[in-house]
Structure 1
Amino acid sequence: MTSTASTSTGAGASAGAPAAAPSVALAASLAPAMRKICGAADVLTDPLELRTYECDGLTSHRTVPALVVLPETAEEVAAVVRLCASAGVPFVARGSGTGLSGGAVPHASGVLIVMSRMRRILEVDPVARRAVVEPGVTNLSVTQAASPHGLFYAPDPSSQVVCSVGGNVAENSGGAHCLKHGFTVNHVLGLEIVTPAGELTWLGDGTGVLAGYDLLGAFTGSEGTLGIVTKIIVKLTPVPEAVHLVLAAYDSLEAGGRAVTDIIAAGIVPAAIEMMDALSIEAAEAAVHCGYPEGASAVLLVELDGPSAEVEAELSTVRELCEAAGAREIRAADDPVQRAGIWAGRKSAFAAVGRLSPAYIVQDGVVPRTALGDVLARISALSEESGIRVANVFHAGDGNLHPLVLYNDAVPGEAERAEVVSGAILDACISYGGSITGEHGVGVDKSRYMPKMFTAEDLDTMQLLRCAFDPASLCNPGKVFPTPRLCGEVPGHRRGPHPATARGAEIF
């Protein structure tokens, strides 16, 4: 493995756009050549089969691809990309399709490269504490393979049963335990990638030691715009000696928020601190019968892990702080089965709200912990003013909010009102010095909010990096940036600084 990527450089000097705009017919004409690469069964052209892939987990954005291919090896992926590049046809990589920002929405005149058949765990090395996996491997499968060695894979999105590691790399996914253990980027030691030109190469050497530019860090979270991952070397973490989960029920979100602030102020860094409001609790109870305290307006979950003596001492302090903040009921569990039962309510929350509403938007914004109360109050006011219900589920420890904006798409105008509320929530996050996304990515859904958060210079710098990897602008085009420019195009003025920059505020 080498630690550098052989990619095109010099974003300003590129061929620019293809001579002619790509067409559905051009992409479809590649099908015979694709079949020679991947096999007839792994190339889809039937309109009904193509519609299967028209969206990811965010169903409000839909596009039917011109062609779908399902490669089974890295070499096949590279050959497919080379064919697309030579024809000037856009291409998009897709994992399990659980994304929530439209990052894997296909290009109408392009090829969708589905990675779900590349799902082998190639190696588990308990001595080096790492594993080598293909991008279609599900997140939870890595922990299951590592558990006989007393190890686990720390990033754990709520969708970890079905979401793929390749998709996690694309979005730099987090999960409930990212507060202590970090996001995907903190657990990726090396990536085999196919560049937008179709070259197979490595970023990082599997040790986690980097020299020069951090291309590994830049690629992780780039939302499929810099290339396609074909192998991932992930770091494995020892299973903690002790794990305790505390559930505290409150009569208000504000009271639960005080407990979060007090716990962090006490110098305790839990593995996870999660909170749910009454509406999300109602949905979870209906879906999985998790048995949360009846009538609670908020439920706080605090999980502690580490050496037994440390966890026992922190557990005592956490219980005292939760009680002092006004908890109406406190439960604690160290048995794995009991803990799983409590976590079931939180992990089912996104899907569970489908029992309350036929359609909903899963939003993803970040605010400083100190602003949680103010932003939640603003969300409540927006809901009341608009008549659009909002269920709140969030990573309270790091201020990552996941408001679920509920609406009925059969009612004229209600989807539009829900979009307005959703956008206003992101505006509130930005106004308090936060971010438009914590772990779900920008994709196509949030690209219009990028100029509200970043300066013209910020966006131009990001696009220069993208052009260095993809000068032809064929790799997942139309994502992340509000007005993607061709490589070499003179950048234009956009807007002023993010509020946090203007105030010199610290995010956390």
Structure 2
Amino acid sequence: MATRRELLAALRAAVGEAAVVWRPEELATYEFDGTVERSVPHAVVLPATAGEVQAVVRACAGLGVPITPRGAGTGLSGGAVAAKRGVVVSTARMRRILEIDPVDRVAVVEPGVANLELSRQAARYGLFYPPDPSSQAACTIGGNVAENAGGPHCLALGVTQNFVLGLEVVTAAGEVRWLGGRSPDPFGYDLRGAFIGSEGTLGIATKVVVRLLPVPPAVVTLLAAFPTVEQACDAVSSIIARGIVPAAMEMMDRLCIEAVEARFAVGYPMDAGAVLLVEVDGLAEEVEGEAGKVRAECLERGATVVRVAASDEERALLWKGRKGAIPALGRLAPNYYIVDGVVPRSRLASVMERVGAISARSGLRIANVFHAGDGNLHPLILFDEREPGAAERVLATAAEIMRVCVEEGGTLSGEHGIGAEKREFMPWLFGAADLENMGRLRGVFGADAARFNPCKVFPGGTGCGEMGSHASAVRAAGPDAYV
């Protein structure tokens, strides 16, 4: 077992002293992501090249120290939290856009590039990068790859998996390898596809080749207000049943509307039980026709108001409310816990009714904002962590909601990943043989379950139940404490 001094010396040799973070007050920044999980690493390194990432991975392997890859830390499943402490490898310094090729419509970027920045730079060529998580101003491409991130505009076009052509990765064995490339149709086993969504358990992406698409020539955004969530859910199914697949179809319930209007004043009807934000894009003549059909379908399903954004500014304001809905909930409660599950569209109304019953039974308010078009739910449980037992009640309520998603024919995650928070739910969907076969893939990349992003994705694991208790103990540890 290495001492802290030995570990820091090895890391400094790999990346230089300035790129190693080790003081307790600095490490506090890296003890959490967007979840309730907490654990302070022994050190954080910020490599600037694939070679430095490789040197860090090899140094930690030699010392037997766990590694946790980290992007912007905006993740919502505990994936970037150092469950067994060890070393966090942050890609924050690797933020160059290396190439934008408008002919082949591809870009080559480093993992620390912010999602939104890529689209901003590609816009000079009339192109954009479609996957757009709500945190796209902050979240990074590397983290999006790790979680196979989605976003509001992924309904018609697809998620990260559909737009990554190739990856340069440092495997858990410390080797630099390319998976895929610039071609959209590679042959052989799809190790690129296996790496995307692996949540940092197989290695660390150091370059990413992505597909870009032309900016649509015309866009129409509609806001429909419904008396109830169930009516809005029915409208979602009926719109797609008519053969219309919008670019985006997002829903917010009354609690979300209340929080958004208090924060942004975007003009959502305050008396609505739910609002549906629908966007269609393409050629102008096609878009106008589809928008008319969407409007008619919403009115047929009980919408009290259907409004079309009259300008780019109004459209941007409507989306500002949607993308700011989750942080706006801080106006309603000191804390919130976000649940990420997927159900078939046809079961949306039933599931939302069951979520409402869970809220009433638990005594916890639950706000709902979600990608309605593909059934990706995000119930947000509002609470105050200062209340005794509040966190335990919230986690139990979240588990109950996840169980409902599975019972209704859905799955455990649409875009946030399994991480630390839902790994114990994996046997609800997968048998022991399934999980064992998934785990074998780690060996292909040289990954040791105890060393490379341990305690993520798969249930069980020695020492994986200690995350929440580490923070206070670590703050009292001196700089020479043993790893």
Normalised-by-shorter TM-score class: over 0.9
- Is 1:435 aligned to residue 408 of structure 2? no
SS at match of 1:198: coil
Structure 1 residues 302-313: aligned runs within 5 Å: 302-313=278-289
Report the Cα distance in structure 2 between the residues aligned to 1:79 and 1:40, rounded to whole angstroms.
Answer: 14
Match of 1:141 in 2: 117
Q: Is residue 243–residue 334 contact of structure 1 (8 Å, CA) maintained in 2?
A: no
Q: Is residue 28–residue 67 contact of structure 1 (8 Å, CA) maintained in 2?
A: no
Structure 1 residues 291-306: aligned runs within 5 Å: 291-306=267-282
**1:36 to 1:354, Cα distance in 2 relative to 1, 3 A:** same
**1:483 CA displacement:** 2.0
Amino acid at match of 2:263: A
- Is 1:481 aligned to residue 446 of structure 2? no
TM-score by length of 1: 0.89
**1:27 CA displacement:** 5.3
Q: Is residue 26–residue 89 contact of structure 1 (8 Å, CA) maintained in 2?
A: no
SS at match of 2:26: helix
Match of 1:118 in 2: 94
**1:457 CA displacement:** 1.7
Structure 1 residues 310-349: aligned runs within 5 Å: 310-333=286-309, 335-349=311-325
Amino acid at match of 2:349: G
Amino acid at match of 2:459: P
Q: Deviations over 1:25-79 (max 9, x none)?
A: 5455221222132221111111111121001111x11111011111111111111
- Is 1:252 aligned to residue 228 of structure 2? yes
Amino acid at match of 1:469: F
Report the Cα distance in structure 2 between the residues aligned to 1:55 and 1:390, rounded to whole angstroms.
Answer: 23
SS at match of 2:369: strand
Please say which of residues 412-421 and 251-260 is displaced more in the overlay.
412-421
Report the Cα distance in structure 1 between the residues aligned to 2:176 and 2:388, rounded to whole angstroms.
Answer: 49
- Is 1:156 aligned to residue 132 of structure 2? yes
Q: Deviations over 1:246-268 (max 9, x none)?
A: 10001101111121111001000
Please say which of residues 135-144 and 284-293 is displaced more in the overlay.
284-293
Equivalent position to 2:20, from 43, 55, 60: 43
Report the Cα distance in structure 1 between the residues aligned to 2:300 and 2:446, rounded to whole angstroms.
Answer: 55
SS at match of 1:128: coil
Report the Cα distance in structure 2 between the residues aligned to 1:28 and 1:406, rounded to whole angstroms.
Answer: 42
> Unmatched 5+ residue regions in structure 1?
1-21, 486-508
Q: How many pairs align? A: 462
Q: Is residue 27–residue 110 contact of structure 1 (8 Å, CA) maintained in 2?
A: no
- Is 1:266 aligned to residue 242 of structure 2? yes
Q: Deviations over 1:188-233 (max 9, x none)?
A: 0110000112111100121122211110111000000010000000
Match of 1:396 in 2: 372
- Is 1:132 aligned to residue 113 of structure 2? no
Report the Cα distance in structure 1 between the residues aligned to 2:284 and 2:349, rounded to whole angstroms.
Answer: 33
Match of 2:75 in 1: 99
Q: Deviations over 1:253-308 (max 9, x none)?
A: 11111211110010000001100000011111112121111211100011001111
SS at match of 1:52: helix
**1:364 CA displacement:** 0.2
Amino acid at match of 2:11: M
Q: Is residue 222–residue 279 contact of structure 2 (8 Å, CA) maintained in 1?
A: yes
- Is 1:451 aligned to residue 433 of structure 2? no
Q: Is residue 82–residue 198 contact of structure 1 (8 Å, CA) maintained in 2?
A: yes
**1:382 CA displacement:** 0.6
Report the Cα distance in structure 2 between the residues aligned to 1:26 and 1:208, rounded to whole angstroms.
Answer: 47
RMSD over equivalenced CA pairs, Å = 1.4
Displacement over 4 Å in runs of 4+: none
Report the Cα distance in structure 1 between the residues aligned to 2:433 and 2:266, rounded to whole angstroms.
Answer: 48
Q: Is residue 177–residue 271 contact of structure 1 (8 Å, CA) maintained in 2?
A: yes
**1:471 CA displacement:** 4.4
Q: Is residue 27–residue 111 contact of structure 1 (8 Å, CA) maintained in 2?
A: no
Equivalent position to 1:462, from 423, 427, 438: 438
Report the Cα distance in structure 2 between the residues aligned to 1:232 and 1:200, rounded to whole angstroms.
Answer: 13
Match of 1:290 in 2: 266
Report the Cα distance in structure 2 between the residues aligned to 1:296 and 1:107, rounded to whole angstroms.
Answer: 42
Amino acid at match of 1:223: E
**1:335 CA displacement:** 2.8
Report the Cα distance in structure 1 between the residues aligned to 2:283 and 2:263, rounded to whole angstroms.
Answer: 35
SS at match of 1:249: strand
Report the Cα distance in structure 1 between the residues aligned to 2:311 and 2:212, rounded to whole angstroms.
Answer: 23
Report the Cα distance in structure 2 between the residues aligned to 1:387 and 1:402, rounded to whole angstroms.
Answer: 18
Amino acid at match of 1:36: A
SS at match of 1:203: strand
- Is 1:380 aligned to residue 380 of structure 2? no
SS at match of 1:341: helix
Please say which of residues 405-414 and 130-139 is displaced more in the overlay.
405-414
Match of 1:239 in 2: 215
Q: Is residue 173–residue 447 contact of structure 2 (8 Å, CA) maintained in 1?
A: no
Please say which of residues 36-45 and 468-477 is displaced more in the overlay.
468-477
Q: Is residue 127–residue 214 contact of structure 2 (8 Å, CA) maintained in 1?
A: yes
Report the Cα distance in structure 1 between the residues aligned to 2:84 and 2:432, rounded to whole angstroms.
Answer: 29
Amino acid at match of 1:415: A
Q: Is residue 118–residue 137 contact of structure 1 (8 Å, CA) maintained in 2?
A: yes
Report the Cα distance in structure 2 between the residues aligned to 1:139 and 1:109, rounded to whole angstroms.
Answer: 28
Report the Cα distance in structure 2 between the residues aligned to 1:125 and 1:94, rounded to whole angstroms.
Answer: 28
SS at match of 2:155: helix
Please say which of residues 326-335 and 279-288 is displaced more in the overlay.
326-335
TM-score by length of 2: 0.94
Please say which of residues 234-243 and 287-296 is displaced more in the overlay.
287-296
- Is 1:426 aligned to residue 402 of structure 2? yes
**1:346 CA displacement:** 0.8
Q: Is residue 64–residue 106 contact of structure 1 (8 Å, CA) maintained in 2?
A: yes
Q: Is residue 195–residue 201 contact of structure 1 (8 Å, CA) maintained in 2?
A: yes
- Is 1:63 aligned to residue 42 of structure 2? no
